Amino acid sequence: MRAGFYPRLALQGIRKNRQLYLPYLMTCIEMIMMHYIVVFLENCEAVVQMRGGETIASVLGLGGWVIAVFSFVFLIYTNSFLMRRRKKEFGLYNILGMDKRNIGKLLFWEVLLTAAFSLAIGLFLGIVFSKLAELGLVNIIQSDVTYTLSLSQAAIRRTALIYLGIFGFLFLGALFRVRHSSAVALMKSESAGEKPPKGNWFVGLLGAALLGIAYYLAVTIKDPITAFALFFVAVLLVIAGTYLLMIAGSVLFCRILQRRKKYYYRAKHFVSVSSMVYRMKRNGAGLASICILSTMVLVMISSTTCLYFGEDDSLRGRYPGAMNLTVIMRDGSGLAEDHIRGMREEIDAAVRGCGVEPQNVHEYRRMYTAGLLDGNTVETDVTRYEDLGMDDYAKVYEFYFMPLSDYNAVTGSQETLESGEALIYTNRSSYRGGDTISFNRCETFRIRKVLEDFPADGRMNMSIFNGIVIVVPDLEQSVQKLVGLANFNGDRMAEFRWEYQFDTGMEVEQDEKVYTACADLLADPAFQERSGMESYSCESREMNREDFFLIYGGMFFLGILLSIVFVFAAVLLIYYKQVSEGYEDQARFGIMQKVGMTKREIRKSINSQLLTVFYLPLVLAVCHLAFAFPIIRKLLLLFGLNNVGLFAATTGISILVFALFYALVYRITSNVYYRIVSGER
């Protein structure tokens, strides 16, 4: 054959099937562009050199691999739609004398042309829009903007290698399917109906059971540690359950519709339902894929949007005061009132030296320890922790003992306690131990009252473990039996801390001066010797604000990029589903037109068919999100965000916007389906 025969034939095949190839190419280009942008930002000097840039780079690096893995799985899935449509053409070539080897060469050139075009346009658009993405990122995280356009050879090389590998795998898969199919099978591949899957009741019940388990896990998990550990287990259960339920349930659904004679034997329903019956296995899988992608978009955009717009709540939860000082003493004697008064006076003098008067002062002493809470008993003996399971880690609590005098001073209360009594407060889960709490079977406190509220505690709010505050009449006497306990590393378990928080009421620049003055004083060896401190921390809310913007803004930006990728994938999947089914139903509707079915009746039948199944993925995705709400909320607690109203608002808005977009896609793809089955151009 003449040189250039196969490239021309491949190009001609792509051009004649442009209705299928154009959306596919657009999706390949979009994924390549997004992958380049993410990898470019990961290695961008402007991002890496900014404060906290390494954190942003690591988040973007994870996003790049997510896009690559998703592209691999999704392009293999969508490529099967192309191959199903092209098999008849390849079968014709085979009958006309072209053997499987020559068809393999044709496939090679088609994949090569697709890869070359997608990589060229995708990388070009990635380079063009990379600066826009960089500006968007720095604007979201409120960092400094640079206006130098650059490209990353490392990003180009990595993107090209990954997607060349994906296209190579697509070629091998297509070659395998063609070489293991006869010419007759290739010719009849389009018209081959599918038998409904056997045992659909069992498969459907199994899918419902898996979804039920996932939903149960999501709504019953009480702490963030368990939520983090079981989140991916629940995700896998939801994916498997959705596929099984959609595949089996769609068949059962069609059978139920067929048995309803008043519904089934109507012009607009008869053709649509009978057509769906013969392809429900593949149809159910397609609907399940659309549902999973829709759920991913809704979960990602609602959670990252909530984090971004709730970062100020998280910031204030982590840093209750403009200045937050923590001093850890060598022993309990360092928390004596006279000793604390001397430290406070020195710190206040340093603050006033900056021209600032401390405002909204909150100070309190406490002893920190940790243990395994089982019922009303706390076990802190490390020798009993040798075989901890995941359920045991969920029982690990942090305990903060606080003297009653400090609690009354901070809250303005007038609580009283007798010896052996205590007030308790739990930050995330309710206490279920009854009227007492016992430590190591030797120190027991009678719980006089469970507190409903407690002053903001930054460290307890951001800890991955649940926390319990125990207010006791006298700190030193109440915890003397717990002082000698050791932690997992063999170090002293008990820590005696003095917390000092205050606002400045000044601008950020003045806050920096106050922070420097406090940090210099706490770092002074003479002050440390006088105070008897073991260690300290000095934190400024405003000086740490940028770190919050970097982390939450980076996650929001990545959430937007990944949502765009998943939305493109969902749209392509919906489009291919409509096109492939349109060609399958074309002959059936052609027959119906010959026996008198009008264009208007065709339109009604199409609307009936699409409305019967098209919105099922959206409804089930919203159901998934509703049951996932509690577990996602627990995960947000790991970021210090406990604003349920904000999360509910972002979730509701995300559902509304996505539903409107979904309806628009339905409108467009239903027109494509109508033009195919009605024979209109």
Give the per-residue SS3 of 230-261.
HHHHHHHHHHHHHHHHHHHHHHHHHHHHHHCH
| Nearest CA-CA partner of 673 in 194, 276, 290, 277 | 276
Structure-derived torsion over alpha carbons of residues 206, 208, 213, 214, reported in degrees to the nearest 10: 120
Pick the most confident of 144-148, 241-245, 473-477, 653-657: 653-657
Q: How far apart are CA 457 and CA 499, in angstroms?
A: 10
Q: How far apart are CA 595 and CA 222, in angstroms?
A: 62
> Helices in 141-151 by DSSP H: which ranges?
none
The answer to whether residues 678 and 589 touch, using CB atoms and an 8 Å cutoff, is: yes
Q: Is residue 136 part of a domain?
A: yes
Phi, psi torsion values for 210, nearest 5 degrees: -65, -40
Residue 246 confidence (pLDDT): 79
| Nearest CA-CA partner of 431 in 421, 439, 419, 423 | 423
Residue 610 confidence (pLDDT): 64
Q: How far apart are CA 128 and CA 151, in angstroms?
A: 9
Distance of CA 45 to the CA centre of its chain: 27
The answer, yes or no, to whether residue 85 has pLDDT greater than 80, is no
396 vs 285 pLDDT, higher one: 396
- The tokens describing 563, both together, are 């949502």
Share of the chain above pLDDT 70, in %: 76
How many Cβ atoms from other residues are within 10 Å of residue 341's Cβ? 10
Q: How far apart are CA 650 and CA 652, in angstroms?
A: 5
Identity of the residue numbered 515: Y
Helix (H) or strand (E) holding 467: strand 466-472
Bridge partners of 499, per DSSP, are 326, 364
Phi, psi torsion values for 439, nearest 5 degrees: -110, 120
The answer to whether residues 632 and 654 touch, using CB atoms and an 8 Å cutoff, is: no
Q: How far apart are CA 458 and CA 456, in angstroms?
A: 6
* For residues 11-16, average pLDDT: 81
Residue 286 confidence (pLDDT): 74
Q: How far apart are CA 282 and CA 290, in angstroms?
A: 12
Q: How far apart are CA 499 and CA 133, in angstroms?
A: 42
Q: How far apart are CA 321 and CA 325, in angstroms?
A: 9
pLDDT tier at 508, thresholds 50, 70, 90? confident
Q: Is residue 219 part of a domain?
A: no
Q: Is residue 165 part of a domain?
A: yes
End-to-end alpha carbon distance in the chain: 36
Q: How far apart are CA 24 and CA 114, in angstroms?
A: 9
Q: Is residue 132 part of a domain?
A: yes
* For residues 523-542, average pLDDT: 87
Q: Which residues contact 542 (CB under 8 A, 6 or more apart)?
A: 322, 508, 511, 512
Residue 161 confidence (pLDDT): 93
Identity of the residue numbered 294: S
Query: What angle, 0 to 180 degrees and rounded to 10, lies between the N-to-C axes of helices 53-95 and 153-179?
Result: 30
Tokens 């808005």: give the residue.
Answer: 653
Which domain does 77 fall in, by range?
Answer: 1-192
The answer to whether residues 581 and 589 touch, using CB atoms and an 8 Å cutoff, is: no
Q: Is residue 639 part of a domain?
A: no
Residue 261 confidence (pLDDT): 64
Task: Give the pairing type, strands 466-472 and 533-540.
Answer: unpaired
| Nearest CA-CA partner of 308 in 136, 189, 95 | 136
* For residues 199-209, average pLDDT: 76
The answer, yes or no, to whether residue 282 has pLDDT greater than 60, is no
The answer, yes or no, to whether residue 635 has pLDDT greater than 60, is yes
The answer to whether residues 502 and 321 touch, using CB atoms and an 8 Å cutoff, is: yes
Structure confidence by residue, pLDDT tens digits, 642-654? 788 888 999 999 9
Structure confidence by residue, pLDDT tens digits, 14-71? 888 777 788 888 888 988 988 898 888 887 776 666 655 666 777 777 778 888 888 8
> Helices in 400-503 by DSSP H: which ranges?
404-411, 458-462, 475-478
Q: How far apart are CA 630 and CA 633, in angstroms?
A: 5
Structure confidence by residue, pLDDT tens digits, 86-145? 666 666 666 666 666 777 788 888 888 999 999 999 999 888 888 777 777 777 666 665
3-state secondary structure (DSSP) of residue 435 = coil
The answer, yes or no, to whether residue 675 has pLDDT greater than 70, is yes
pLDDT tier at 193, thresholds 50, 70, 90? very low
Q: Is residue 38 part of a domain?
A: yes
Distance of CA 28 to the CA centre of its chain: 23
Distance of CA 325 to the CA centre of its chain: 34
Structure confidence by residue, pLDDT tens digits, 335-383? 888 888 888 889 989 988 888 888 888 888 888 888 888 888 887 765 5
| pTM, full prediction | 0.73
* For residues 576-598, average pLDDT: 69
| Nearest CA-CA partner of 500 in 546, 539, 552 | 539
- The tokens describing 113, both together, are 């042309």
3-state secondary structure (DSSP) of residue 193 = coil
Q: Is residue 10 part of a domain?
A: yes
Number of domains in the chain: 1
- The tokens describing 166, both together, are 């994906």
The answer to whether residues 303 and 560 touch, using CB atoms and an 8 Å cutoff, is: no
Phi, psi torsion values for 8, nearest 5 degrees: -65, -40
Q: How far apart are CA 591 and CA 627, in angstroms?
A: 45
Q: How far apart are CA 305 and CA 588, in angstroms?
A: 47
Identity of the residue numbered 371: G
Q: Is residue 360 part of a domain?
A: no
Q: How far apart are CA 286 and CA 281, in angstroms?
A: 9
